[in-house]
Amino acid sequence: MPPYLTKIATQKAPILIVDAFAGPGKFGDGELGSPQIICQSVEIALSKGLSVNVSVMCIESEEELFKDLTKSIESFSFATANHGEFGDYIDEIERQAKNHSVFLYVDPWTVEGLEWERMDRVFQHLNISNMSIEILLNFNAPSFVRRGLAALKLSIPESDPDIEDAEEIDAPFATPPSIERLNLVVSGDWWKTILSSTANFSSKVLDMTEGVCSRLSKRFKEVCYSPIKAQPHHTIPKYFLIFASRHPDALILMNDQMVKSRKTLAELAKPKEPTLFEMRPTDLVPDIETLPEVILKYVSKPTQRGIVILNIIRECFGQFAHKDIRGCIEQMLKDGKLRSETGKVRINDNVKIFAARKSN
């Protein structure tokens, strides 16, 4: 939130942050929920003199949780608690998207409650206005796949606590979710082909996430996702954090935040005794030694450094921070593995770089 608010304020439009599946604001154990996290960040930004107005719209469907939410955020004058379903507020969000920068945080437990076509009405403003819309979606792909398999009357794999977060798995479905309902969630029945294939559960989960991203790509220029695992050794993520924006700057900003979070998790997963080799999985501790090879893929012809960095972030979202990629390019220029069109090592993003020709 803090870097997003600072950056988006430069657009000069008022900001609307929507927490579409808000929850109680603060959990029973005292842990802060997303409405509190958002509101506290906004309060700090405003106290530091943020140049535009911000409003926070929190939506919660459960009566009791809505009451908790109302209490939890009552001291923030810029925030409102709204009772009902996300879908009921789409008209209002659509109206505000015409003159606000909108950040939409969508965090349902499962996939129920998502309605693609209605959400897409807000995204359509991308095509008709200059306003900025970002979406951060917690897509519970394992839950969608389980529901989809049940709806198609296909077998659902037993949960295995060694490879996924078994606690969070939906109870067996008394009434399987209907195909029509799932069609509404992701807009269309394209998911049936993925789920009916012979691929394993883990591949179906990934293919569903990529399918959702490709639908978002119709509206947003930049779409990326990051798997969120309950335990470092799990092979099936608990859910996927999907981020979409039309601004490359937002992608860079989100990438750097994901790198920071990943480093925090990597620190937690550090073995108690020091080990000679890195034992943690590469999705938690990416191998920086592989970065030069990735860079070389994007410099076969002279390309502006800024574009090269962006392409690497698109390919390796959440793995390498912007400054690490820049640093690696600089080192490769120093080592003569790359050349710049100015012949210098210290360059800006507009300068083209290319692979140095190997001498015989």
Q: Read off φ and ψ for residue 344, nearest 5 degrees.
A: -95, 160
Find the binder of ligand SAM among 60, 134, 164, 165 (CB under 6 A).
Answer: 60
Maximum distance among all Cα pairs of the chain, rounded to whole angstroms: 74
177 touching ligand SAM, by CB under 6 A: no
Say how many residues touch ligand SAM, by CB under 6 A: 16
Strands (E), 70-192: 79-83, 101-106, 133-139
Binds ligand SAM (CB under 6 A): choice among 15, 39, 76, 108? 108
Q: Which residues contact 50 (CB under 8 A, 6 or more apart)?
A: 5, 6, 9
Contact between 85 and 61 under an 8 Å Cβ cutoff? The reply is yes
Nearer to ligand SAM among residue 241 and residue 309 (C-beta): 241
Q: Is 107 in the site for ligand SAM (CB under 6 A)?
A: yes
Sort strands 133-139 and 101-106 into parallel, antiparallel or unpaired. parallel
Q: Which one among 23, 142, 148, 237 touches ligand SAM, defined by CB under 6 A?
A: 23
Selected from 5, 8, 17, 21, the binder of ligand SAM by CB under 6 A is 21
Report the residue number, 113 or 292, with the smaller CB distance to ligand SAM. 113
Q: Min. distance of Cβ 213 from ligand SAM in angstroms?
A: 20
Smaller CB separation from ligand SAM, 119 or 325: 119
Strand partners for 353: 303, 340
**Options 2, 44, 53, 62; binder of ligand SAM; rule CB under 6 A:** 62
**Chain position whose Cβ is nearest to ligand SAM:** 33
Token duo for residue 281: 């999985």
For strands 101-106 and 15-19, give the pairing: parallel
Segment contacting ligand SAM (CB under 6 A): 101-109, 158-166, 250-258, 280-288? 101-109
How far apart are CB 103 and ligand SAM at their closest, in Å?
14
33 is an interface residue for ligand SAM by CB under 6 A: yes
Instruction: Select the span of 18-26, 202-210, 215-223, 311-319 touching ligand SAM (CB under 6 A).
Output: 18-26
Cα dihedral: 143, 172, 152, 198 (round 10):
70
Q: How far is CA 132 from CA 40, 95, 226, in A?
A: 22, 14, 22
Number of neighbours of residue 78 by Cβ within 10 angstroms:
16
Binding-site ranges for ligand SAM (CB under 6 A): 21-23, 33-34, 59-62, 65, 85-86, 107-109, 113
